[in-house]
């Protein structure tokens, strides 16, 4: 992923460049974590923290790294989707958000942050 501020254009305005990976899940994660916050800031919106949700089921994690996992809302809780591979568009299309899963995963009942997935 790439986030860069370029020299001002001919009109004197700041310019930015966002580069996203080719893998669909990584591209959405990059858009949610880089592009959306940048556009909100440039638009003058106040930054707000992501909402929290309780895990209705255990969320699998990476042994050492934080993972953004597509999840579906079940009432006030979230559950993982069966199609969560990096190139699987089906799980992403069904996702209500991306759970920020700490290293090692999150057990059922744990609280995790949820990043909204932009919808058209």
Distance CA 5, CA 58 (A): 39
Q: What is the residue whose two structure tokens read 């700041």?
A: 14
User: Quick check: 89 pLDDT over 90?
Assistant: no
DSSP state of 34: I
pLDDT at 92: 84
Q: Is the pLDDT of residue 120 over 70?
A: no
Q: How far apart are CA 51 and CA 112, in angstroms?
A: 8
Q: Rounded to whole angstroms, how far apart are CA atoms 115 and 76?
A: 14
| CA nearest to 49, candidates 120, 119, 117, 116 | 116
Q: pLDDT over 70 for what percent of the chain?
A: 98
Q: Output DSSP code: residue 44.
A: T
Whole-angstrom distance, CA of residue 20 vs CA of residue 12: 26
pLDDT tier, 5 (very low <50, low <70, confident <90, very high otherwise): very high
CA distance 53 to 14: 36
pLDDT at 71 (0 to 100): 94
Q: How far apart are CA 28 and CA 81, in angstroms?
A: 16
How large is the average pLDDT for residues 8-13? 91
- What domains sit in the chain, N to C, each tagged with a CATH number? 2-42 (no CATH), 52-116 (2.40.340.10)
């Amino acid at each position: 992923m790439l986030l860069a501020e370029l020299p001002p254009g001919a009109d004197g305005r700041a310019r930015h460049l966002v580069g996203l990976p080719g893998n669909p899940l990584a591209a959405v994660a990059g858009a949610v974590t880089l592009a959306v916050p940048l556009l909100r800031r440039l638009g003058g919106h106040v930054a707000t923290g992501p909402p929290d949700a309780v895990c209705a089921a255990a969320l699998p994690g990476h042994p050492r790294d934080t993972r953004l996992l597509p999840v579906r809302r079940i009432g006030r809780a979230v559950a993982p989707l069966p199609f969560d591979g990096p190139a699987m568009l089906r799980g992403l299309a069904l996702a209500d958000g991306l759970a920020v899963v700490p290293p090692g995963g999150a057990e059922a009942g744990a609280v995790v942050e949820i990043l909204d997935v932009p919808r058209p």
